[in-house]
Amino acid sequence: MTRNTLTLNTGAHMPLVGFGTYQVTDPAECERAVLTALQAGYRLIDTAQNYGTEAPVGKAVRESGVPRGELSITSKVWFRNHKAGECCASVLRSLERMGLDHLDLMLIHWPFGDVYAAWRDLEALYREGVVRAIGVSNFGPDRLIDLINFNTVTPAVNQIETHLYCQQQAARPWLQKYGVAQQAYAPLGQNRIGEMFALPAVTAAAAAHGKTPAQVALRFLVQQGIAVIPKSTHPDRIRENIDIFDFSLTEAEMAALRALDTAKPMIGTADQPARVESSKNWTSKEL
Ligand SMILES: NC(=O)c1ccc[n+]([C@@H]2O[C@H](COP(=O)([O-])OP(=O)(O)OC[C@H]3O[C@@H](n4cnc5c(N)ncnc54)[C@H](OP(=O)(O)O)[C@@H]3O)[C@@H](O)[C@H]2O)c1
């Protein structure tokens, strides 16, 4: 880990702070936000077939003037594409929508359907260099280890819900054991920001360092080697969320923040039967 990147099991360096694009439904707004993020110094942008933001992300990347080699662009395969050959074809469609010739990281978005067929397609694209790293998202340690046991390429990343209330302390040792980087989604707590940012442990640390609650919440994860991908469409917040490398939380502050963990996901996990059942009806903006 350098000051602001971590090293993946592929040897590539991945920025510890990236930019999320979930729920940025207006393409023009998405393009503007990504351009602002790139100008503010973000070098990792996160999109997904499901978000409908691949096209505006690609457009902003192409128009930004930032050399492609400096960027780490992530997308995710939706589970309706988890069929042999279909997964591969869908990644090529993602690239076409983005106007790019490769992705730096392609993830399996949810462990539903024929995950193993999809993974073997991703392994082939990885060997061809069309995707420079492959990984998963929303995988519990059990699913992750089984995927590793029965395939060739170990995922570079597991992108999972991680924030003050859901710190993934039980999953972390497993990710470390298998050399899989943890990337936190909803690192600010998505819909529960107001409540989280008023907690005394958060406001006290923010006041002590002259930082905002958002910066404390993100710094808390990054200081543990967990990558984060906060989303915002406000330029001031976009800049604020990456400005977290000029301070360190003390051990006492880290302990107080660690104590906020409820170990309960807010968004949900793939081992919840009702969630798996409902996934039959989930739709995707793109396939
Ligand atoms: N793999 C998965 O299944 C999965 C699931 C969820 C998310 N993700 C990825 O992770 C990214 C981040 O997660 P998320 O978007 O769900 O949640 P998040 O980043 O934790 O929170 C986003 C919310 O925080 C607000 N916000 C951002 N910066 C702020 C600041 N400095 N101060 C106050 N409020 C602030 C945003 O509002 P404004 O926009 O109005 O500023 C937005 O309402 C997503 O965009 C997506 O790329 C992946």
pLDDT tens column, 45-98? 999 999 999 999 999 999 999 999 999 999 999 999 999 999 999 999 999 999
Say how far residue 215 (Cα) sits from the centre of its chain.
17
CA of 193 to the centre of ligand 1 (A): 9
Q: Of these residues, 51, 126, 165, 185, which one is catalytic?
A: 51
- Cβ atoms within 10 Å of 170's Cβ, excluding its own: 10
Contact in structure between 218 and 242 (CB atoms under 8 Å): no
> What is the CA(166)–ligand 1 centre distance, in A?
15
User: What is the chain's Cα-based Rg?
Assistant: 18
How deeply is 192 buried, as exposed, middle or buried, from its count of CB atoms within 10 A (0-12, 13-18, 19+)?
middle
Q: What distance in angstroms lies between residue 61's CA and the mean position of ligand 1's atoms?
A: 20
pLDDT at 1 over 60: no
Q: How far is the CA of 245 from the centre of ligand 1 (A)?
A: 20
- Whole-angstrom CA distances from 101 to 73, 104, 243, 259, 281 are 11, 10, 31, 44, 32
Please tell me the residue having the least CA distance from ligand 1 atom 26: 232
Stated pTM of the model: 0.98
**Strand residues in the chain grouped as ranges (E):** 5-7, 13-15, 19-20, 44-46, 72-77, 105-108, 134-137, 157-161, 181-185, 227-228
Of the candidates 112, 25, 31, 131, which has an alpha carbon nearest to the alpha carbon of residue 74? 131
Q: Which atom of ligand 1 is nearest to the CA of 232?
A: 39
| Share above pLDDT 70 across residues of the chain, in percent, rounded to a whole number | 99
Ligand 1 atom closest to Cα of 230?
19
Q: Give the Cα separation of 247 and 268 in Å (integer).
A: 32
Identify which of 75, 231, 243 to mutate to test ligand 1's pocket (most ligand atoms within 8 A of the CB): 231
CB neighbours of 261 closer than 8 A, spacing ≥ 6? 164, 165, 166, 167, 169
Q: Which pLDDT band holds residue 201 (cuts at 50, 70, 90)? A: very high
pLDDT band, very low/low/confident/very high, at 268 (cuts 50, 70, 90): confident
Residue 152 Cα to ligand 1 middle (Å): 33
pLDDT single digits (tens) 12-56: 999 999 999 999 999 999 999 999 999 999 999 999 999 999 999
User: Which atom of ligand 1 lies at the shortest distance from residue 214's CA?
Assistant: 31
Atom 24 (ligand 1) nearest CA? 190
C-alpha 77/C-alpha 136 separation (Å) is 9
Q: 123-182, pLDDT tens digit by residue?
A: 999 999 999 999 999 999 999 999 999 999 999 999 999 999 999 999 999 999 999 999
Residue 244 has pLDDT above 70, yes or no: yes
Active-site annotation holds for 51: yes
Specify the CATH class of 5-275 in words.
alpha beta
Q: Which two tokens stand for residue 184?
A: 């936190």
Q: What lines the ligand 1 site, CB under 6 Å?
A: 20-22, 46, 109, 137-138, 159, 185-190, 193, 214, 229-234, 237, 240-241
**Residue ranges per domain, the chain?**
5-275
Tokens of 249: 């939380």
